């Protein structure tokens, strides 16, 4: 007994006593302490032999050192516990489907039950019960993937018992025997509902930004065309009126029909000029709704959208947003349209650059205004290009319309701010715009 761990001596004594009173057999795991102080775990199986009077003749048995086995079992339990915790955090569950019963029975981890909203005690995962949980519109595609003999990854919708629809992503691998025959499919299920909702929100935001951009582009084009057409229409009216005066001043009387034609030409030229004047007034109106917004949140939201594809193009995005910026009165979508346009220009400018870094910075200026900077490491611009940077229909890009920066400047000016550009000392360009902290009415 002296070698038995002190905490285990009492249960060992009880097991011995019970063996003596009953059939003389006992099996027990307990700890022993070696002379060098090393603690080991042993599994002891023992039986005693009794004489005719019931007295103990002798004990015989065997003890096995199971220390390493217990360590391995404990490590496995800890690993399983960490796996369960990781699955719960990541919303990823694991599953298994064996083909020995025609693949009808499934094994689910606890997280899969949580994702599907099912009670483990009541729900038995089979092919039939799984497909009952899948959205009716997705069952055909899932069935096709479910029955194939290849590794696959696919997204589908499930309907929980409470009627809630969730989006999940399934990834699985096929295990094959030496003869090449598949005998098991194992995989994971991840709840991607939040990602899908975020993607939908970004898609709606992108559609709204694009809609505003098209409206502003049409307005800018209409305004520029109206400006360009106004002068020749005025000149036409003046020339026709001068022609009428010259003809009337001559010796011959102007035929009534010709006089009417000239009068109508003058009238229609003036009418066209009036229509264009009204059009310019209309497209110059600001229909945006300004409200107090957190500028950094506005930036983060649009950079997440505008930078889609930047990583695959080798562009590294750096956000340097100042802390504790005050709210500013803006039209959120219009400002995001400006940022998206400047970011798109920056990525296009770096298409051939060996180093592609785009930075977006926000700061509070001493002049009680917020400033946003979008910098790139592209080739930069010439002096001539800088001079015509905001001129409508002047573009340095092949196929460019030359109205993006014009629209952006008009939006910023409608907020009482300014938009300008300068060369980046490290190469490339920096576009900056300011937003006053007190809303101003643009002229």
Q: What's the alpha-carbon Rg for the chain, to the nearest Å? A: 40
The answer to whether residues 398 and 415 touch, using CB atoms and an 8 Å cutoff, is: no
The predicted-structure confidence for 138-147, as pLDDT tens digits, reads as follows 999 888 877 7
Helix (H) or strand (E) holding 33, with range, is strand 25-33
Looking up residue 246, the CATH number of its domain turns out to be: 1.10.287.130
CA–CA distance, 262 with 236 (Å, rounded to integer)? 11
Q: In this predicted structure, what is the pLDDT of residue 322?
A: 93
Give the ranges where 148-255 is alpha helix by DSSP (H): 193-249
Helix (H) or strand (E) holding 63, with range, is strand 56-65
Looking up residue 82, the CATH number of its domain turns out to be: 3.30.450.20
Instruction: Name the token pair of 85.
Output: 């915790």
Instruction: For residues 265 and 398, state if they share a domain.
Output: no
Looking up residue 427, the CATH number of its domain turns out to be: 3.30.565.10
Domain endpoint, select from 136, 171, 191: 191
Identify the DSSP state of 255.
Answer: P
Query: Crossing angle of helices 332-349/193-249, nearest 10°?
Result: 90
Q: Is residue 152 part of a domain?
A: yes
Instruction: For residues 46 and 94, state if they share a domain.
Output: no
Q: How many helices (H) and strands (E) does the chain have?
A: 11, 15
The answer to whether residues 271 and 232 touch, using CB atoms and an 8 Å cutoff, is: no
Q: Is residue 321 part of a domain?
A: yes
Exposure letters 208-240 (e unless 16+ CB within 10 A, then b) = ebeebbeebeebbbbbbbbeeebeebeebbeeb
Instruction: For residues 78 and 163, state if they share a domain.
Output: yes
Q: In this predicted structure, what is the pLDDT of residue 420?
A: 92
CA–CA distance, 224 with 401 (Å, rounded to integer)? 13
CA–CA distance, 49 with 51 (Å, rounded to integer)? 7
Q: In this predicted structure, what is the pLDDT of residue 32?
A: 85
Instruction: For residues 306 and 398, state if they share a domain.
Output: yes
Helix (H) or strand (E) holding 56, with range, is strand 56-65
Tokens 């007994």 label which residue?
Answer: 1
Give the chain's residues under pLDDT 70: 1, 23-24, 50, 53-57, 59, 79-90, 101-103, 209-231, 250-254, 257-258, 264, 267-268, 271-288, 306-312, 367, 391-403, 439-443
3-state secondary structure of 439: coil
CA–CA distance, 210 with 200 (Å, rounded to integer)? 15
Instruction: For residues 241 and 338, state if they share a domain.
Output: no
**Parallel, antiparallel or unpaired: strands 25-33 and 56-65:** unpaired
Instruction: For residues 49 and 77, state if they share a domain.
Output: no
Among residues 174, 170, 193, which one has the least CA distance to residue 182?
174
The answer to whether residues 370 and 381 touch, using CB atoms and an 8 Å cutoff, is: no
How many CA atoms does the CB half-sphere of 78 hold within 13 Å?
6
Instruction: For residues 257 and 303, state if they share a domain.
Output: no
**Parallel, antiparallel or unpaired: strands 357-365 and 316-321:** parallel
Instruction: For residues 166 and 238, state if they share a domain.
Output: no
Backbone angles phi, psi at 416, to 5 degrees: 85, 10
Burial class (CB in 10 A: 0-12, 13-18, 19+), 261: middle
Burial class (CB in 10 A: 0-12, 13-18, 19+), 401: middle
Q: In this predicted structure, what is the pLDDT of residue 272?
A: 67
CA–CA distance, 63 with 27 (Å, rounded to integer)? 10
Q: In this predicted structure, what is the pLDDT of residue 234?
A: 72
Instruction: For residues 264 and 371, state if they share a domain.
Output: no
Q: In this predicted structure, what is the pLDDT of residue 431?
A: 94
Domain endpoint, select from 65, 80, 98: 65
Burial class (CB in 10 A: 0-12, 13-18, 19+), 52: exposed
Instruction: For residues 342 and 428, state if they share a domain.
Output: yes
Q: Is residue 203 part of a domain?
A: no
3-state secondary structure of 43: strand
Among residues 366, 352, 420, 361, which one has the least CA distance to residue 389?
420
Q: In this predicted structure, what is the pLDDT of residue 329?
A: 92
CA–CA distance, 173 with 421 (Å, rounded to integer)? 53
3-state helix, strand, coil in the chain (%, to 5): 45, 25, 30
Q: Is residue 405 part of a domain?
A: yes
CA–CA distance, 410 with 389 (Å, rounded to integer)? 13
Q: In this predicted structure, what is the pLDDT of residue 101?
A: 66
Instruction: For residues 389 and 341, state if they share a domain.
Output: yes
Query: Could you tell me the CA-to-CA distances from 153 to 136, 138, 168, 173, 370 in Å, in that order?
Result: 19, 14, 11, 9, 46
Q: Is residue 1 part of a domain?
A: no
Q: Is residue 42 part of a domain?
A: yes
Domain endpoint, select from 283, 300, 333: 283
* Domain with 110 in it: 72-191
The residues, ordered by sequence, that sit 6+ positions from 117 with a Cβ below 8 Å of its Cβ are 160, 161, 162, 164, 166
Q: In this predicted structure, what is the pLDDT of residue 277?
A: 64
Tokens 């499930």 label which residue?
Answer: 158
Instruction: Name the token pair of 174.
Output: 């096929």
Q: In this predicted structure, what is the pLDDT of residue 224?
A: 65
Q: Is residue 401 part of a domain?
A: yes
Q: Is residue 267 part of a domain?
A: yes
Instruction: For residues 266 and 369, state if they share a domain.
Output: no
Looking up residue 28, the CATH number of its domain turns out to be: 2.10.70.100
- The tally of domains found in the chain comes to 4
Give the number of other Cβ atoms within 10 Å of residue 427's Cβ: 16
How many CA atoms does the CB half-sphere of 282 hold within 13 Å?
12
3-state secondary structure of 354: coil
């Amino acid at each position: 007994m002296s070698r038995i761990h002190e905490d285990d001596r009492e249960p060992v004594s009880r097991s011995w006593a019970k063996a003596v009173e009953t059939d003389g057999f006992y099996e027990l795991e307990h700890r022993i302490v070696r002379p060098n102080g090393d603690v080991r775990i042993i599994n002891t199986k023992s039986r005693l032999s009794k004489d005719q009077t019931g007295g103990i003749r002798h004990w015989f048995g065997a003890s096995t050192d199971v220390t390493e086995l217990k360590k391995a079992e404990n490590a496995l339990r800890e690993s399983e516990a960490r796996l369960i915790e990781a699955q719960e955090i990541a919303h990823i569950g694991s599953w298994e489907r064996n083909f020995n019963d025609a693949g009808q029975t499934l094994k689910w981890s606890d997280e899969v039950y949580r994702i599907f909203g099912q009670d483990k005690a009541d729900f038995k995962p089979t092919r039939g019960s799984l497909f009952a949980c899948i959205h009716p519109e997705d069952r055909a595609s899932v069935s096709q993937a479910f029955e194939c003999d290849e590794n696959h990854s696919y997204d589908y919708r499930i309907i929980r018992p409470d009627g809630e629809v969730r989006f999940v992503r399934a990834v699985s691998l096929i295990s094959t025997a030496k003869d090449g025959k598949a005998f098991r499919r194992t995989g994971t299920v991840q709840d991607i509902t939040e990602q899908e909702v975020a993607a939908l929100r970004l898609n709606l935001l992108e559609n709204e930004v694009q809609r505003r951009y098209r409206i502003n582009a049409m307005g800018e084009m209409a305004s520029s065309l109206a400006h360009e057409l106004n002068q020749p229409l005025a000149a036409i009216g003046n020339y026709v009126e001068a022609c009428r005066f010259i003809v009337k001043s001559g010796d011959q009387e102007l035929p009534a029909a010709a006089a009417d034609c000239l009068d109508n030409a003058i009238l229609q030229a003036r009418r066209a000029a009036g229509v264009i004047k009204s059009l310019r007034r209309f497209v110059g109106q600001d229909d945006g709704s300004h409200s107090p917004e957190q500028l950094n949140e506005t930036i983060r939201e649009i950079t997440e959208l505008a930078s889609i594809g930047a990583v695959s193009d080798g562009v590294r995005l750096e956000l340097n947003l100042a802390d504790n910026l005050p709210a500013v009165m803006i039209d959120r979508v219009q400002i995001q349209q400006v940022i998206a346009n400047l970011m798109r220009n920056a990525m296009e400018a770096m298409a051939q650059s060996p180093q592609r870094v785009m930075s977006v910075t926000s700061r509070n200026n001493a002049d009680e205004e917020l400033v946003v900077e979008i910098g790139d490491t592209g080739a930069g611009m010439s002096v001539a290009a800088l001079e015509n940077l905001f001129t409508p229909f002047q573009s340095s890009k092949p196929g460019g319309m030359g109205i993006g920066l014009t629209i952006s400047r008009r939006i910023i000016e409608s907020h009482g701010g300014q938009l300008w550009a300068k060369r980046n000392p490290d190469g490339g360009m920096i576009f900056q715009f300011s937003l006053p902290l007190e809303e101003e009415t643009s002229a």
